[in-house]
Amino acid sequence: MTSSTKNTVSEICTALMLLLLVYTGTVKLFDFPAFQMVLSTSPLIGQHAITVARLLPLLELLIAVILFIPRTRLSGLAASTILMAVFTVYVAYMLLFEPKLPCSCGGVIAAMGWPEHLLFNLFFTGIGLLGWWTRASRFDKTGPIADVAAATC
């Protein structure tokens, strides 16, 4: 893949992750009471629902800001991919081990069933990985670690 192609792929992946995080973070904040209530019914999150409800939308929006800034984009792609992987593991766990499946998603995403949600999360985890890999591999042999170090200076 040429450097130009990698740049284009990375930018598309970044835009998709950015849109997803802004959308989901904003929807959670606009319907905060419902989001918190649904989290309180989750067997894994229930006792920590207030903390998770407050921090998760802010984390999503913070990662979106990190993705938006070119200098921190590689870190943002890594963070958004990790967050999507955590969501994916949570959804997989719920599908496998919990008969009662509360959905705390809002907007259009709430219309999906849990199996579709798992596929959606897997897709976006893949988008994040692809974006991170194409952005990291654009740089010379010093690699992505040097890029992250340079971005923090």
* Total domains present in the chain: 1
Nearest by Cα to 121 from 61, 129, 133: 129
CA–CA distances in Å: residue 107 to residues 25, 32, 34, 94, 103 = 11, 12, 12, 20, 11
pTM (2 decimals)? 0.84
| Full residue range of the structural domain in which residue 42 is found | 3-151
pLDDT, residue 106, reads 67
Q: Is 132:74 a contact under the CB 8 Å cutoff?
A: yes
Beta carbons of 109 and 24 less than 8 angstroms apart: yes
Question: Could you state, in chain order, the average pLDDT of each consecutive group of 10 residues for the chain (153 residues)?
Answer: 89 97 94 90 88 96 97 96 96 86 71 89 97 85 50 50
Instruction: Count the neighbouring beta carbons within 10 Å of the beta carbon of residue 18.
Output: 20
Residue 153: the pLDDT is 46
